A = this chain, B = another copy of it.
Amino acid sequence: MRVYNFSPGPSALPLEVLERAAKEMTDTNGTGQSVMEMSHRSKDYKPIFERTEALLRELMGIPSNYKVLFLQGGASLQFSMIPLNLAAGEQGSAKKKAVYIDTGVWAKKASDEAAKYAEVSIPASSKDKAYAYIPAAPKADSDAAYYHITLNNTIVGTKWASIPDTGAVPLISDISSCILSEPLDVSKFGLLYAGAQKNLGPAGTTVVIIREDLIGHAPAWTPALLRYDIHAAEASMYNTPPCYGIYIIGLVLEWLKNLGGVSVIAQKNREKANLFYSYLESSKHFLSPVEKVSRSLMNIPFVPRETDPEKRKDIETRFVKEAGAAGLVNLAGHRLVGGMRASIYNAMPIEGVKALIAFAEKFEGSL
């Protein structure tokens, strides 16, 4: 029996996609091969790769002066590639400035890594309130190489309600946990990146969407696989790409397109999130720790209203365990934060959210 999987990533995929992948596993498109067996440079694989890119461009409305790259290494490798390609000077020459806004663990990891290759400044942070809000975005220094934000913060459950205007300074965003969840104006960004394992497909593929003028600025000592110019010139096939993951992403995008695309899924996502936030507002025992205007549609942390630490811990442990036994799995909050968290990505049906609320209401009866 399938469960409702509230994992923050890797996370639930549409059942239709999995069923189709299973059906095509030993013979895809009449080729007599699994996609896992196809040479990445073969005529059998080429249309699969191209369809995935075309669907992503269509669904996100990616302008033609942006390259789409399918890479390896996760969003975490982008934490290095971005400063290496955009802000590291040649050995001897000065590092360029890079602006990071600190909205939580992932933003911090990104800026820590950037500090190896760039002169990092962090003009705003929400650390003072355990990252439970998005700070105002300060104006960018006009000589900054780029300005980095984490659009949706998976762990603490915040998202930027509006996109900061950084003028001529390229805006870069980690959209790992919100890609394709709502319409996004790609043209406002210089570079967008996302690990696949939330709204796109299996872990092991990273999507990078990069404006062409930002390609080609890596110093000579950059590892070949970490250079955007090489990946762009070779259309993501400088070496063997994660072919099967790209195929699954294509199936997910097809599923999304058939649903009606990003505006339709956004409506569903708002409905699901509103349902759960409304439940929390009215709950006697649980609450959302996040400031209203900054709440994520994708990741909803919630904590007991109980303030006694021991009782609180007991409620959390019991909730996660009993929910799991009821087929509502992976509801523990992040190991760095605690509490509970429901990640309700595109593939989570509203029935899953309703089942969670029904469970939580019943659980409250035991408190």
A-side residues, CB < 8 A to B, are 1-3, 5, 7-13, 15, 18-19, 21-23, 25-27, 31-34, 36-42, 72-77, 79-81, 84, 91, 113, 116-117, 195, 197, 201-205, 220-221, 223-226, 238-245, 248, 327, 329-330, 335
Contact = CB atoms under 8 A, between A and B. Distances in A.
B205 A204 contact: yes
16 contacts: A3-B32, A5-B33, A12-B33, A15-B26, A18-B34, A22-B22, A42-B330, A74-B225, A74-B239, A77-B225, A116-B220, A116-B221, A117-B221, A203-B243, A204-B240, A242-B242
A225 B76 CA distance: 7
A326 B221 CA distance: 47
A36 B13 contact: yes
B26 A201 contact: no
Given A22-B25, A27-B1, A76-B239, A13 B34 contact: yes
Contacts of A11: 37, 39
A76 B241 CA distance: 11
A31 B330 CA distance: 12
Main secondary structure of the interface of A (DSSP, over half): loop
A118 to B, nearest CB: 12
A132 to B, nearest CB: 23
* Most chain B CB atoms below 10 A, which of A36, A40, A73, A241: A36
A365 B128 CA distance: 81
Contacts of A77: 72-73, 223, 225, 239
A330 B44 CA distance: 10
B18 A244 contact: no
A13 B35 CA distance: 10
A198 to B, nearest CB: 10
A3 B26 contact: no
A139 B31 CA distance: 48
Nearest to A31: B3
* Most chain B CB atoms below 10 A, which of A12, A19, A25, A203: A203
Contacts of A221: 116-117
Contacts of A205: 204
B10 A243 contact: yes
Contacts of A10: 36-40, 240, 243
A77 B231 CA distance: 13
A74 B72 contact: yes
A80 B224 contact: yes
Given A26-B15, A327-B32, A39 B242 contact: no
Contact of A76 (B8, B23, B224, B242): B224
A290 to B, nearest CB: 22
B26 A240 contact: no
A6 to B, nearest CB: 10
Contacts of A37: 5, 7, 10-13
Contacts of A245: 204, 242, 244
B32 A25 contact: no
B244 A202 contact: yes
Contacts of A116: 220-221, 223
Contact of A25 (B3, B18, B224, B226): B18
